[in-house]
Structure formats: structure tokens, C-alpha cells
Structure 1
Amino acid sequence: MFRIFGLSFFITVIALVVAFFYGGPQALVLTLILGILEVSLSFDNAVINATVLQRMSHFWQRMFLTVGVLIAVFGMRLVFPLAIVWITAGLDPVKAMDLALNPPADGAKYFADGSASYETLITAAHPQIAAFGGMFLLMLFLDFIFDGERELTWLSWVERPLQKIGELDRFPIVVALVALVVTGTLAAHTVDESKTVFIAGILGTVTYLVVNGLGEFFHVEEMEEEAERARSGPSELAKVTGKAAFFLFLYLEVLDASFSFDGVIGAFAITADPIIIALGLGFIGAMFVRSLTVYLVEKGTLSEYVYLEHGAHWAIGALAGILLFSIHTEVPEVVTGLIGVVLILAALGSSIVRNRREGDGAEGDAPVSAPQQIDA
């Protein structure tokens, strides 16, 4: 346990010390609040990460836990909010950083000269952020829920009929595009905002299809090559590496980014300081999410509690819907988090009941894979 979470605790202490010297006790408290908020809202993220990570070789697992952490901490929690200001406000990076570090007095949204604050500019960009992230996550949920080849179901009274409907080719894409049309037509406030939502939503859908599709394509290609080598004679078996693992890595990073969109935006309800946001969401939150991911993989938790993956995907579907709905109406961060937590806990409880009911027979129905150790 300490080997998995020890580094996260160490970095948490460092982040809190840095926050204290940066902004005193207030900055320390805000950083801690953001860290706790990120961890509590990201359990579904860790579960989904684990389902993908356990398919990858040790090398690419380490890449996700090292390079991936840097992308999550500096890319999504620090550079991403600044990049939004660069793009939407037409400011150069230096000006954007200066705007972030020097907000208006008394928490005002505008400066005396009428120019918008950093927080205001970020909030104004919410429709395109929510549309992109919402559509990416919605595609992930729909692909899972309409998958007719999935034998195990959790909410069978809902999932079985949806699996039958999912036998129609490309049906998840149809549902996603209909959801985007409804969102862009009804949720957006103006014509320009509708166009923005449509463009961002289409880009989110395309990003999912391309990254996920390439990962699956190269995975199948490498599996066929491995089978051919096996027929030719004994050789070293290939794991999910190379191009397949690379695109799985990209898929994980885009997935993590989509999960973090609402967290980054929601953080501005607590503070607009980019340094505190990076320390709380990135150094504390992102590190603990990765440690939790490693724990789930190494302990074989997803194989033992078979409905966890289902609960996580339903939580993703709920988050996608909330992101799209939030384009029109603000949704409190606590609501988003509670829905995900309730679904995960319900899936965990169902898994425990199933294991107790079936006893030793449960192992025959759902084989428990051997736990694997990740060398972080």
C-alpha cells in the first residue's frame, strides 16, 4: 500500500509546503480543498483508466505514470486554462499569465478599464469546453452500453435491451450526434454559441473515434502478426506495445483531459489563482488518481468486483450529460461528484452481493486475473 501511495503522500506534503510559502495559510487551505475535491470526484476516472492500463505493457504503464502525470499536472491543470485565455481572448502567453496572477481587487469580474478578468475569460469558454469533453465521454459511454458482445451486465433490465439495439451498425454515433443537435439547439443561448457548441462537439466526437479507432486497429493488427509468428514456430510473444499501446496512451490522456474539464472549471468557484489550482488539482489530485489506478490494476480489483467497470461507465454517461446540460444551466460541482460516487458505490455493493451469492462459483463465471505489479 505504501509503495503505491507513498509518492502521492510525499508530493502532497511538498505541494502544501509550496502553497504555504506562495500564499500563506489561505493558499495552503485552498490547495488542500482542491486536492480533496479532485480525488473525491475522480474515482470513476481511476476505474476507467485501470480498465485500459491493464491491457498495456509495463513500459507503457510506466509512461502513463510518469510522462502522463506531467501532462496531467502541467498540461491540463496549468497550461490548459492559460491556453484558453490565449486563444479566446487573443492574448499572448505572458499577458495571460500576468492576468491570471493579478486579478481585479475584491474578486471583481472586470478591471477598472472594463477588461475581463482571467476567471471571466475561462468561464466564457465553458460552452466549447463542455461540448468537447461531454461528447468525448458520451461516445465512451455509448460504445460500452451498446456493446452487444459484452456478456456480463449490471443493470440488465436496461443494458440487455440497449445491447440488442446496439447491433445496429454505428448506432452510438447516431445517438451522440442527436444529443449534440439537441444540445446545440436548445442549450446554447445565442446563434454564435450554438455554432461554437456544434464545432466543439463534433471535434470531441471525431477525437474519440480517431484515437480509439487507431488504438483498436493497431491492436488487432499486432495480434494477427503475433498469431502468424506463433504458427511459424516458437518465438517471444508480443504484448500490447508499439503503435497499439501508443494510441492507447493517447486515448488515456485525452480521456483524463475530458474528465478534468469540469474539475478545472469548477476550481474557479474556489480560487482563480493558476498556481493554487495546479498544486491542488495537479500535484495532489492527479497523483492520487494515478496511485488509485495502479492499486486497482495490481490488486485485480476490477476482476474481483465485476460491476465496478459498469458503474464507472454509467458515471461517465452521467458526467457527459451534466457537461452538455451545463452549457445552458450551471450545475454545482458537488452534484456531479455525488452522482459518480453513488453509481460507483452501488456497483461495488452489487459486486459484493454477487460474490457472496455465488461463492466459489463466481470465479468460474468471471475468472479473476492474476494481479500484476506496475513498476512506476
Structure 2
Amino acid sequence: MDKYMEKHHSKFSRLMEWIYQLVVINVLALIATLAGLVVFGFFPALMTVYAMIKRLLDKDDLPLFKTFVTTFRTCFVKANLLGAAVVLIWAVLGLSWFFYLGDLETTFHWIGLVVVGFLAIGAFLMTAYLPISFVTFPRFKNVEHLRFALVMALGMPLATLLIALNTVFFYGVVMIRLVTVAPFLSLSLPAFVNLLLARKKLLGLFVVFADEQVTCRTLNSYPRPEVLWSLWQEAMEDVYPIDYETFVRTSLDPAHADPRFSLVLLDGKEEPVGCLLTVREEDRFSIQLLLVEKGYRRRGYGRRMIEALSDNALTQHASKLVIGSTRGYFNRLPRVFGQSLGFFEKTGFDIRHDEDGFEIDKPLKGVSA
């Protein structure tokens, strides 16, 4: 009986904790919206709500007020630019609707009205997906968010329908009948439900491989690439120490690590245990960094990341993979890392020795048409 009560008490406590967090986040969002004079505050506040709830769903332990302020400041410009694009889209659709509605005596206007109606439905579904895309794929540019949200709205019909129904039900029924709830849950509760419905399916689109221990995804789907520095510290601190700012600037800039082709290896808690950072240079892909945490080595994860990159490189008509780059830390593998030569030999790389280290490359057999 004690265990039964303890189990239900734990669930009740967790429910109360979630309600408290959602209320606090919602109140902070309303304050931030007003602080931004509504026009400049709404979209950053909305994106911050989604970002914080996503982190809570990922079981991050975070101080609500401090995290909200930091996130709001960080996304302020980008969120407002995305919001401006959304407003422009809806303005064009609205003007088009009234234009065609003004004269329904011609077939042309009726057809135009129907077309605008379908476009408005697509825009509504895209708009519902935008905050989810914004916080799930923070490295996307705004144009990519718009395109991705539209593709997902059309390509995931079940999730899209559920998100649309949740949005319509909440704002069309709950908010009308329970107006007093608005200051406390008007943004946070729909965001919570929408993230539950869509985030795992969206992340699944970027999975390269997975097993019971790890999931490998492309870097553009990982919201906190800067924590990869911990992997560097573990593997390279004694050999090539660098500070956090240098790592982020040198390793994670798109000029050094293309997020579409770079990979991150994650454990069950979404913590990084490995990575492969690469960038295209002319007809080759240069691997800037390949790391796997000690506890996850000798399980084939490094080989599988190399194989995944090889497949992607072929689709981009690249001729070879190369270890090192003039843009990165090393233009070849330094001699101090000579113990890794066996791994590269087993994965099909050619190795040439010289005074400065090892020139290592892997010719790609066949190029996709």
C-alpha cells in the first residue's frame, strides 16, 4: 500500500511541478511580450516558451527566470525576422482574399478565392509548425524554417491534424469559455501539447543510425552543439588544449562544420558521446574532428559515422574524404595521434607518412548520378 501511495504521490507531484512551470513560463512570456511593445515582443516570447518547454521535456534542470531572459535575448532578432515573414505571408493572403471576395460574379474570382483558401490552410499549418522547427533545429536559417515547416505540415498528415485540432480547440473553445486561464496557460499549454505531438517525429527525420545505446543524428538537429567541447576536453586536453570560445568559433562555425553532413552521437539522455565534424572543400569532404567517448569505443560507432558520411558525400558528387583541412586545427593527422592509424586503415583510408604527420584520405568508389 505504501508503494502504491508513493507511486501516485510521485505522479501528482510531477503534475503539480509541470503546472507550476507552465504557469511561470506563460506569465514571463506575457511580461516579455508587453516589454517588447507586443509587436517586437510576441514572437521572441513565443519561441522562448517553446524552447524552455522543449528543454523541460528533455529533462533539463534549469532556473526558469534566468533561462527565459537569456533565451529571449538570444532569439530576439531572429524570431522577429521570422515573425515579420509570417505576418507578410498572412498580409498577402488577406489582401488576396478580399480582392477576390470583392467581385464573385466571374469564374476567375471564384477560382482565385478557392486557391487563396487552400493557401491559407497551408499557411496556418506551416505557422503551427514554425515554433517547433525553430527550437528543434536552432541552426536552421529562417528561410529553412519556413520551407521545413511547410514540408512537414504536408508530409506528416496525422501529426499536422492533431496539432491543428489542438490549436483550434484550445483557442476556439478553451480560451473563449475560460478566459481567466489566458494569463496563465494561453501560450505554454498549447506549446507543451504541440511539442509532445511532433518533436520526436521531427527528430526522427534526421536520424542516421540508432541502436539501444545511442542515436546518431545530423548536427543541424542538435540544439546544443557547444557541449561537444566536453568531448574535446576528454580526448584532447592533454594533447591540444583550447578554451571553450575557441572551440565554438573554430569547430562549430559552418565554414568548419557543415551541420547538414556533420554528425553527433547521443546517448539515451540526449548527451553527446561522439561526433564527426566535416565540411566540403571543392570535390572532397574534409573531416575536422572525429571523436567517440571512451566508454563507447570499439562498438563500431566511428566506422558507422564514416560510412554515413561516405554515402552522403557520394550523393554530393565528392571524390574522397580527407582527414584534416587548412581551415581546421590540422591540415593532416599529427603524429601524436598515430595510435588511430589502425582505425583509418580498417575503414578504407589510404595513409601516407611525412615529416609533419600523416596524409589520410579515402577515395569514394562511384559517384551518384
The structure with the larger Rg is 2
- The TM-score bracket by the shorter chain reads under 0.3
**Greater strand share, 1 or 2?**
2
Q: What is the TM-score of this pair, normalised by structure 1?
A: 0.23
**Greater helix share, 1 or 2?**
1
